[in-house]
Amino acid sequence: MERSPLAEWLDQIVCGDALELLPRLPANSVDLVLTDPPYFLDKLDNEWTPERAARRFYKSQAVFHLPPGMKFDPNQGRRMYEWYLEVSRELLRVLKPGGFFFSFSSPRLFHRMACAVEDAGFHIRDTFLWLYTQNQPKAMGVAHFIERMPLSEHTKQSLKERLSGWKTPQVKSCYEPIVVAQKPYEGTFLENMLQYGVGLFHTEVRIGQNMFPANVLLVEGVEETLDKYFLVPKPSVEERGAFNQHPAVKPLALCEYLIQLAAPEGAVVLDPFLGSGTTALAAHNLKRRYIGIEINPEYVAIARQRLQHFTPSLFGEC
């Protein structure tokens, strides 16, 4: 029997740079891409490491303890666009016609991500909005900057009083957009589905109280009406594991929901920025095949542990 050119990749977590590894995947072989790439906010770009993300000391700045994602740089979006355009071109090549590409993003750089995906050749079909209520507000007051100004104590004090309550322009971020892109399909939707097994949404997948799938999603109960329409059912398995120290673990329920919507049982789900392995775990739970790529060996180890069985690397250990 002829071996599929994808066989050696299936149910593997491969350690390496997605941009180097994706070109090795066969064209038109993957059913769904679900990924949560680096958001390109400061310290969270495509070269992030746990050490770098944890390093919070900027000696040249007045404020030392800036958590990842706080520092504003207008070039972050441009850098993300250029990098994600290259990534998206490869994903377009490996996806089957009509295959979906779900990409998490940040409210601030979502526009750049969506343009990169579209410019690579995908059709943008929708945007999911994952809503949540808890997050750390990132706005900073100005008192410590005033403190460092060469002014008299009296002037500093009156400036602080005048600007009391005024902070950097960042409200609490309470949603993440998820781009819904589709590789152009061949013929009609139906013809494409019959030929490649992808291209339609399985709308019997329900959210809330037996509701038709919507593009607003919640994974924590918030309020009766919202929950009724938008709450994604929780999977039964344990979420992340105590050993999982990844700083950006996505909810398993969300990944399971998205996979069920766009890829039938047995389908191949690719995550080129696997992190701690949530996409792979979701695919595995739902009897889909997974391919995970992750650049950081520590996260690869966590992902493999979450999958609870060791999947030897195709390309040796990092």
Ligand X SMILES: C[S@@+](CC[C@H](N)C(=O)[O-])C[C@H]1O[C@@H](n2cnc3c(N)ncnc32)[C@H](O)[C@@H]1O
Least distance to ligand X from the beta carbon of 119, Å?
19
Under the binding rule (CB under 6 A), the answer on residue 68 touching ligand X is no
Under the binding rule (CB under 6 A), the answer on residue 86 touching ligand X is no
Task: Compute the residue count for the chain.
Answer: 318
Task: Output the CA–CA distances (angstroms, integers) from residue 101 to 179, 197, 318, in the order listed.
Answer: 8, 15, 27
Under the binding rule (CB under 6 A), the answer on residue 196 touching ligand X is no
Under the binding rule (CB under 6 A), the answer on residue 299 touching ligand X is yes
In this structure, the strands spanning 289-294 and 12-15 are: parallel
d(CA 165, CA 27): 55
Under the binding rule (CB under 6 A), the answer on residue 248 touching ligand X is yes
Nearer CB in complex with ligand X: 36/256: 36
Under the binding rule (CB under 6 A), the answer on residue 250 touching ligand X is yes
Least distance to ligand X from the beta carbon of 126, Å?
20
**Segment interacting with ligand X, rule: CB under 6 A, options 4-12, 143-151, 176-184, 268-276:** 268-276
Nearer CB in complex with ligand X: 38/99: 38
Query: According to CB under 6 A, which one of 25, 268, 293, 300 is a site residue for ligand X?
Result: 293
**Segment interacting with ligand X, rule: CB under 6 A, options 59-67, 157-165, 288-296, 310-318:** 288-296
Under the binding rule (CB under 6 A), the answer on residue 275 touching ligand X is yes
Under the binding rule (CB under 6 A), the answer on residue 295 touching ligand X is yes
Under the binding rule (CB under 6 A), the answer on residue 18 touching ligand X is yes
Are 230 and 207 in contact, with CB atoms under 8 Å apart?
A: yes
Nearer CB in complex with ligand X: 31/36: 36
Nearest residue to 36 (alpha-carbon basis) of 178, 138, 171: 178
Query: According to CB under 6 A, which one of 273, 280, 290, 301 is a site residue for ligand X?
Result: 273
**Segment interacting with ligand X, rule: CB under 6 A, options 34-42, 73-81, 117-125, 260-268:** 34-42
Nearer CB in complex with ligand X: 267/300: 300
Under the binding rule (CB under 6 A), the answer on residue 105 touching ligand X is no
Per CB under 6 A, which of residues 36..65 are in contact with ligand X? 36-38, 46, 48
Nearer CB in complex with ligand X: 19/193: 19
Contacts of 278 (CB under 8 A, 6+ apart): 36, 240, 249, 250, 251, 252, 255, 306
Least distance to ligand X from the beta carbon of 311, Å?
16
Nearest residue to 267 (alpha-carbon basis) of 282, 254, 277: 282
Nearer CB in complex with ligand X: 29/105: 105
Under the binding rule (CB under 6 A), the answer on residue 88 touching ligand X is no
Residue ranges binding ligand X (CB under 6 A): 17-19, 36-38, 46, 48, 246, 248-250, 273, 275-276, 278, 293-296, 299
